[in-house]
Structure 1
């Protein structure tokens, strides 16, 4: 006999009768709180958004964004902050602003990209009148620790975040359902950025 090893007989809940009250149905998700200006910008980008799962991310290889459904957010306004954060990552794709996304998930390159995405999200949130409950400054502070050795990193990140925000906001002038027309404005955004 192995010490501290005990034997238990267990049953699947589906095999038991009369225990329905122990496993209540999960509460339905609340209705979405929609901000039309934010929704319009997200739609206008033409980004491949996939709604589902428990976490938000941008996948640079297949070039898609995944976010949980809006009602899954404790405070639904943060859904838009998260969408704009992931859209800021999306702007870094080689077909758009061509930032270095090679350091995905670790190290200084990842920290720099997270700074760009979070600052870009803050800029777009401010432009769209979205006031998230998540504090951008607190999140940015955690990444600044990684970049302490480079005292110019925050300025480069702010510059790239501004370019990302400008790129995203340029979609506003595009005809609805015509993200390709907005993408053509990429060159005009690049010209404004270079000036």
Structure 2
């Protein structure tokens, strides 16, 4: 049997559990965002993002943790809290950018002062260093103050501002939700067919996440048709972006309108079996997507002009 790379063993173990959950028809990172928050470190105040967010949320689902607080053993000790004997921690990753010449972390203040050409030249001296840390959930720790749960009220007006400020046309009709990259249009079923506002806006934001792939936005490959690997990878990115946006805006994510859910689950299973690292790649991209979408709340986006604009036909 081929020996596992120790540096990636924690990744492989995690992805195996994700695949097992998906095969049972359960999306492991789904939680009730109305009653929970993004995973965070109560000692440093850090909000875990990207792949660490997905990993910690999934482990919470695997182990039925309702506490969103995570920290290292040393951080718990500093607070006079005690990780219970026999508890197993969860591996997370941290990347730092290292300057080869100085062998020190990148001086971001200096780097930001460089011209674009200078940055391109300087980038040749940089590399990413990945470090892993083991963290424990609040429910694995004795002495930690009781979690104060807060009921978050969803401000749908602000979410609607995101849709309006995106300046992307939304067509209502039919029973499918999708984004058309050719026409830069989002298609949604009529709002009244959704069971509540949460479901409607969750679905709309999912399609808005796809729209960021447009060449004049974040420029991703949106050419893959349903059933292809490239489509499955894009769906995974939009899925994770929806999770991050849901956490930020308080949406109850598991109520969204997901078309062909069984087919999507199988496509994600196939992708992750072919390349377990895709879950980490997708979550990194999803972080960029969610940041881009959330800025719409306060910034009206310019209208993207199309050289040939056709009406989107929706069969009713």
Q: Is 1:114–1:143's contact at 8 Å kept on the other side of the alignment? A: no
Aligned residue number for residue 51 of structure 1: 172
Q: Does the C-alpha gap of structure 1 residues 34 and 49 become closer, same or farther in structure 2, counting only changes over 3 Å?
A: farther
* 1:71 to partner: Cα distance: 1.5
| Deviation of 1:93 (Å) | 1.0
Report which of the two has the higher share of helix: 1
Q: What is the Cα deviation at residue 69 of structure 1?
A: 1.8
Cα separation, 1, equivalents of 2:235 and 2:182: 17
Which residue number in structure 2 is paired with residue 62 of structure 1? 183
**Aligned ranges for residues 52-131 of structure 1 at < 5 Å?**
52-131=173-252
* 1:164 maps to which of 281, 289, 302: 289
Q: Number of matched residues?
A: 146
Distance 1:135 1:67 in 2: 12
Over the aligned positions, Cα root-mean-square deviation in angstroms equals 2.6
TM-score (norm 2): 0.42
Higher strand share: 2
User: Which 5+ residue runs of structure 2 have no aligned equivalent?
Assistant: 1-153, 305-316
Could you tell me whether the CA contact under 8 Å between 1:52 and 1:66 is conserved in 2? yes
8 Å Cα contact 1:92/1:101 also seen in 2: yes
- d(CA) in 2 for partners of 1:102 and 1:159? 20
Q: Residues of 2 paired with 1:153 and 1:133: CA distance?
A: 22
Query: Any idea what the Cα deviations from partners look like across 1:133-152, whole Å, max 9, x if unmatched?
Result: 4379x887544312111011
| Among 302, 305, 316, the residue aligned to 1:180 | 302
Q: Does 1:40 align with 2:161?
A: yes
For structure 1, the residue ranges without an aligned partner over 5 or more in a row are 1-32, 184-195
Contact 1:77 1:133 in 2 (8 A): no
- Of 261, 270, 273, the residue aligned with 1:146 is 270
Question: Is the 1:81–1:122 Cα contact (8 Å) retained in structure 2?
Answer: no
